[in-house]
Amino acid sequence: MVDAKFWVFSDAYCFVGFLTQILFILTPIAFAIQLKYGVLKIERVSIIGLLSLFCNAFIYFFTSIYKRKEGEEIDPLDFANLAGTYLGFIYLIVYIYFIHFKINKKLGLLYMGILTISSVAVWLIILFTIEKDNVADKIFSWLGIIFNVTEYLPMGFDIVYLIKHKISEKYLLFGAFFGFLNCVAWLAWAIYGVVVNHDNLEHSIVANCLGICLQICQFTLFFIFRKNTDDDINIDETEEKKNDIIDSTNNELDNAETKDPDYMKDYI
C-alpha cells in the first residue's frame, strides 16, 4: 500500500470526495425550501432519492463505527456519513410533513413513526450483529451500494412522472450537478485505490459509474424536455398571434359594415 496520506485523509482523492459529498448532502435544502413555499407540484415529487440518501449514510456510518477495532483511527468519512444521517432524517421529516401531515395528520404521524421505529430497529441489528468482514458486514455493504446508486435519482422528484409527461424540472439540476461531481470524485478515489493500493474497491467503481450515468440521463432529459417545451411555447405564441390577427381583421370588417352597410357596393 502506497502511503499518500493527505492531512487526516487516506489520500487527496478521499479529501475531494469528502468535500463533494458534503455539498451533495446539502443540495436537498433547495428542494425543501421549494416544497415549503409551495413552488413544486405534489404529483412531481418522490421520496426515493431522499430515502436512499438517508439509508446510504445511515448504513455506512453505523457499520463503520461498530466494526472499528479498538485503537484504530477514526475515518474522516464517518463525519460526512453522520451529517448525511442527521440531515437525511430531517429531509424525510420535512417531506412527510408537507406531503402527508398537512393533508392528513394521522397518516403523517404514522409515516413519521414508521421511519423512526425502522431506523432504531436497523441500528440495533447493526449494533448486535456487525463485525469486520462477517456475513452481516457484507450484507449491509451490498445494501449500502444499492442505496449509494439510487440516491443519485432526482433528489425529491419522481423521474417516472417527469419522463411520462415530458416535464423539464429545473430544480432537479441542483442534485444532478453536485451528484455528478460527487460520483466523479469517488470514482477517481476508487480507481486510485484499486490501481495503486490494490484495495478491493471494484464495487465502488461500479456504483459510481452507475451514478454518473444517472446524472447524465437527468441532464439529457432536462434539455430534451426543455427544448420540447420551448418549441411548444413558440408554436402556441405563433398560433395566438395568428388568432389575434384574424380576430382583429374580423372586428375591423364588422365595425366598417356597422358604420356603412353599403360600403361594399362600389366593389360589386
Least confident of 48-52, 150-154, 258-262: 258-262
The pLDDT assigned to 255 comes to 61
Check pLDDT > 90 for residue 265.
no
Confidence at residue 170, expressed as pLDDT on a 0 to 100 scale: 85
Kindly state the average pLDDT of the residues 147-156: 92
Note the pLDDT tens digit of each residue in 85-120: 999 999 999 999 999 998 999 999 999 999 999 999
Q: Which amino acid is at 230?
A: D
CB of 23 closer than 8 Å to CB of 178: yes
Q: Classify each residue of 161-188 as buried b or exposed e, where b means 16 or more C-beta atoms within 10 Å of its C-beta.
A: bbeeeebbbebbbbbbbbbbbbbbbbbb
Query: Stretch 168-174: mean pLDDT, rounded?
Result: 85
Residue 197's Cβ-count burial label (10 Å; 0-12, 13-18, 19+) is middle
Answer yes or no: is pLDDT of 243 > 70. no
Q: In the predicted model, what is the mean pLDDT of residues 136-161?
A: 91
Q: Which of 15-19, 73-77, 152-156 has the lowest mean pLDDT?
A: 73-77
Whether 171 has a pLDDT exceeding 70, the answer reads yes
65 in Cβ contact with 131 (< 8 Å): no
State the Cα–Cα distance between residues 207 and 180, nearest whole angstrom. Answer: 12
pLDDT at 200: 82
Q: Which three cell numbers stand for residue 139?
A: 450484507
Question: What pLDDT, on the 0 to 100 scale, is given for residue 247?
Answer: 60
Position 94 scores a pLDDT of: 95
What pLDDT is attached to residue 235? 41
Helix 105-129, helix 77-96: angle, nearest 10: 160
pLDDT digit string, tens, across residues 37-85:
888 888 899 999 999 999 999 999 999 999 887 667 788 889 999 999 9
Task: Collapse the DSSP code of 69 into the 3-class scheme (helix H, G, I; strand E, B; otherwise coil) and give the result.
Answer: coil
Average the pLDDT over each of 64-73, 126-135, 160-169, 199-208 and give the range with the smallest value.
64-73
- Indicate the domain borders of the chain: 12-226
**Residue 6 — φ and ψ, nearest 5°?**
-120, 105
pLDDT band at 261 (very low <50, low <70, confident <90, very high): low
pLDDT tier, 8 (very low <50, low <70, confident <90, very high otherwise)? confident
Per-residue pLDDT reduced to its tens digit, 177-235: 999 999 999 999 999 999 988 888 888 899 999 999 999 999 999 999 887 665 444 44
DSSP sequence for 7-43:
TTBSSHHHHHHHHHHHHHHHTHHHHHHHHHTT-S-GG
**195, three cell numbers:** 490501481
126 contact partners, CB below 8 Å, separation of at least 6:
59, 62, 63, 66, 136, 140
- How many other CB atoms sit within 10 Å of the CB of residue 112? 16
